[in-house]
Chains A and B, each alone.
Chain A
Amino acid sequence: MRLYEFEAKEVLRRARVPLPKSVMARTPEEAETAASEVGGPVVLKSQVLSGGRMKAGAIKFAEDGAGARAATAEILGITVNGQQSVGVLVEERRDVAQEYYAAVTWDGRAKRPVIIFSDMGGIDIEEVAEQHPEHLSRTHFSNLAPLSDYQAKVAVSRVGVTGNDLGPLTRIVAALVKVFVERDMTLAEINPIGKLADGTFVALDSHMDMEQEARGTHADLLRSLGIPDEDTRMARPPTEFEIAGAKVNDADTRGVAGNITEFDGNLGLIIGAGGGSLTLFDAVRAAGGNPANYCEIGGNPSVAKAAALTKLVLSKPGVDKIAVMMNVVSNTRADMMARGIVKGVIEAGYDPAEKIAIFRIPGSWEEEGFAILRKYGVEFVDRSVSMHEAAARAVAKMAGT
């Protein structure tokens, strides 16, 4: 889940990261008062869970309270990438001598967290990585070993920072690492860290994403930030179809059959196993298919649960067929899945041979599963057919080829 800038900055403030003075305002009137509190020229920043604020005109500057009020009225009317602002952060405007970039995130390939630091902050970090790689450092660390400021110091010094700047920047980056690890973040970023004319540093903007599954663990933090449980921070509210999917999963504790996301396509997907959902969804798209949904199934769900999910997917208007595909399964049983899917299709009033475009669940108990599929005339493949090939066959079947 993503935090708004004003929430991320509160997290940083508690971690003792130096920040410019700022006040959150929900209305133009509040912004006027806030500007007086902050004092002097201010920057007004729309609070949305999206980048592109400057380009959208959702960041403005004002010299005084009246100017802040007028600017806020404008900002609140601007949507940024389809998102309506929840307010405006009124922040003191500082003259910055140099900007730095610091982030902590996960490196999926290295399977470790990584500190990314650059002395070229304030701009797109991907651009820096491509065009000025010597200005960017990547420093991996262990999130199991005790945290050490030394790793932060290495990250900062790798781009050539020395002298009086090294200490304060190290402290900021070390604090960011601590927030990342202790609060189960997937991204903790400050961009830019501004070096002011007097040689001090402040975090001028921040972006934080927390693991969705960590919400319960960090309920204390979320409560203290004023984030209610019902504020899911998803891109849009769940659809009725998605809510029904969650109910299918919650109704039976055996295995997983849920996490449905609705799309507009005509091919229903029952997919999963060890990252298989994402791979298979992408494979269907790559083959030119139009998924009706994304979902996750695995952990050996009961027959009833698999059947309920199948019926739900088939109940979605516009779904012509379903593709049942998983990675090679071990704890999930292919035969139980076959039973559930076939049962769901029949209970929905369809012929499994006609409605199931392809069934690819190789692995545990597959021979029993194949026997079931043979009985009902369902086309199935084993592990000798890749997930991508299975997806392509399903898409081809939709096209009638």
Chain B
Amino acid sequence: MAMFIRVDIDESVQADEALKKSLVEVCPVDIFALDGGRVVTLDANLDECTLCDLCIQAAGDRVQVVKLYRE
């Protein structure tokens, strides 16, 4: 269970095939994965997020990285 990081994916991303593929490719710690045609986050890897922002650079405000310890 992730304790420190949550990644919110806007529903509009699911219609963008290139972006979904890009999210899976850019994350250095494999937070994103394709599951039945949808891009999802892998709970086991969320806390490994390095805050590199590569997913945000790829998706803009359609992906949000939430620091749970700042809430």
Interface string of A324-353 (1 = CB under 8 A from B): 000000000101100100110010000000
B residues sitting closer than 8 Å to A (CB atoms) are 3-4, 29, 47-48, 50-51, 67, 69-70
The winner among A303, A339, A342, A343 for most chain B CB atoms within 10 A is: A303
Number of contacts between A and B (CB, 8 Å)? 28
> Does the CB pair A368–B47 fall under 8 Å?
no
Interface string of A230-241 (1 = CB under 8 A from B): 000000000000
Query: What is the distance, in angstroms, from A115's C-beta to the closest C-beta of chain B?
Result: 48
Among candidates A303, A333, A371, A375, residue contacting B47 with C-beta atoms closer than 8 Å: A303
Query: What is the distance, in angstroms, from A149's C-beta to the closest C-beta of chain B?
Result: 52
> Does the CB pair A371–B69 fall under 8 Å?
yes
CA distance A376 to B4 in the complex (A): 11
> Does the CB pair B3–A371 fall under 8 Å?
no
Q: A304: which B residues are within 8 A, CB to CB?
A: 47-48
Tell me if A372 counts as interface (CB < 8 A to partner B): yes
> Does the CB pair A302–B48 fall under 8 Å?
yes
> Does the CB pair B50–A339 fall under 8 Å?
no
Q: A375: which B residues are within 8 A, CB to CB?
A: 69
Given that A371-B69, A371-B70, A372-B69 are known contacts, is A343 also in contact with B3, CB under 8 Å in the complex? yes
Chain A: interface residue total (CB-CB under 8 A):
15
CA distance A371 to B51 in the complex (A): 14
The winner among B50, B51, B69 for most chain A CB atoms within 10 A is: B69
Q: B3: which A residues are within 8 A, CB to CB?
A: 339, 342-343, 346
> Does the CB pair A368–B48 fall under 8 Å?
no
> Does the CB pair B47–A339 fall under 8 Å?
yes
CA distance A304 to B67 in the complex (A): 17
Q: B69: which A residues are within 8 A, CB to CB?
A: 371-372, 375-376
